[in-house]
Amino acid sequence: MLEIKNLTAKAGDKEILTGISLTVKAGEVHAIMGPNGSGKSTLAQVLAGHPSYEVTGGSVTFLGQDLLALEPEKRAQAGVFLAFQYPVEIAGVTNAYFLRAAFNEQRKARGEEEVDPIDFIDLLEEKLKIVEWGPEIMQRAVNFGFSGGEKKRNEILQMAVLSPKLAILDETDSGLDIDALRIVANGVNKLQRPDAATIVVTHYQRLLDHVVPDFVHVLAGGRIVKSGGKELALELEARGYEWLEDSAIAGARA
């Protein structure tokens, strides 16, 4: 589904990704872990097409398409979804209007008919259950005045509505209390499908207690320095990242 080959990227003059290669197949859950500044969030943003990063080398193929050649909206329309680490507030635009607009843009891109507001409410009802929300949330402005936890739940709600083929969760667990973490994690689990894949970017093990990954990759210095199964996450929890960083630096010197 997703094939990243030797991807390098920079922000300004600063090289952040120094050569990432990763293959993700349908139905899989991959966790990307690593210390602060290792490039985890950059990888997520680069895959979504954030204009602040410049890809300097390598390739990303998504369902046979050159993902890097696509505008961010085309990537979204192709089925890539990024749950933002810092969801953005849009004043004066209701969640309902925003979600329907996004939903319809993606339908149009697939050559499907747009859904009118009435039918959309029916569809939403199902999706709201996933994040344990009532309909009131739809009349509030997008993320405006939302608590940190509400913002993250709203990301999962959007994911539920848009049912992406590839969901990238960028530190979705950061800043969540126990209840919010449970709701978010349950949401992610419910949304997993055999034909869709999930990449969970996280600093900590705790989300992975709920969303169990098939593979864990550790990023350091802008590249993957170690890959393993879910037990790797536990090892990281116990030992920290330092031992990997040291070997990454050693590897870079070699």
Partner 1 sequence: MDTSVETLVNREYAYGFVTPIEADTFMPGLSEDVVRAISAKKDEPEWLLEWRLKAYRKWLTLTEPHWANVKYAPIDYQAIRYYSAPRTAKPLGSLDEVDPELLKTYAKLGIPLNEQKLLTGVAVDAIFDSVSVATTYKAKLAEYGVIFCPLSEAVREHPDLVQKYLGSVVPYGDNYFAALNAAVFSDGSFVYIPKGVKCPLELSTYFRINTADVGQFERTLIVAEERASVSYLEGCTAPKRDTNQLHAAVVELVALDDATIKYSTVQNWYAGDKDGKGGIYNFVTKRGKCAGARSKISWIQVEAGSAITWKYPSCILQGDDSVGEFYSVAVVNNHQQADTGTKMIHVGKNTRSTIVSKGISAGHGNGSYRGLVKVLPRAENARNYTQCDSMLIGNKCGAHTFPYIDIQNPTATLEHEASTSKIAEDQIFYLKARGLNTENAISMIVNGFCKEVFLNLPTEFAVEAQKLLGVSLEGSVG
Cβ closer to partner 1: 50 or 230? 50
Scanning the structure block, which residue is given the tokens 């969303």?
211
- The minimum distance between CB 16 and partner 1, in angstroms, equals 15
Q: What is the CA radius of gyration of the chain?
A: 18
Cβ closer to partner 1: 167 or 236? 167
Residue 162 interacts with partner 1 (CB under 8 A): yes or no: yes
Identify whether the C-beta of residue 87 lies closer than 8 Å to the C-beta of residue 121: no
Give CA–CA dist 66/220, Å, rounded. 26
- The minimum distance between CB 82 and partner 1, in angstroms, equals 5
| Site size for partner 1 (CB under 8 A) | 30
- The minimum distance between CB 52 and partner 1, in angstroms, equals 6
Structure tokens at 198: 């999930």
Kindly identify the residues of this chain, within the stretch 175-194, that bind partner 1 according to CB under 8 A: none
Cβ closer to partner 1: 108 or 239? 108
Residues near 84 by beta carbon (within 8 Å), at least 6 away in sequence: 155, 170
Residues near 199 by beta carbon (within 8 Å), at least 6 away in sequence: 24, 29, 30, 31, 32, 44, 47, 166, 167, 168, 169
Residue 109 interacts with partner 1 (CB under 8 A): yes or no: yes
Kindly identify the residues of this chain, within the stretch 23-52, that bind partner 1 according to CB under 8 A: 48-52
Residue closest to 24 by CA, chosen among 67, 62, 58: 62
Q: Helix-strand-coil percent breakdown of the chain, rounded to 5?
A: 40, 30, 30
- The minimum distance between CB 163 and partner 1, in angstroms, equals 12
Structure tokens at 37: 């500044």
Residue 166 interacts with partner 1 (CB under 8 A): yes or no: no
Per-residue mark of binding to partner 1, 51-90 (x: CB under 8 A): xx------------------xxx-xxx---xx-x--xx-x
- The minimum distance between CB 91 and partner 1, in angstroms, equals 5
* Residues of the shown chain interacting with partner 1 in the complex, contacts defined by CB under 8 A: 48-52, 71-73, 75-77, 81-82, 84, 87-88, 90-93, 97-98, 101-102, 105-106, 109, 141, 158, 162
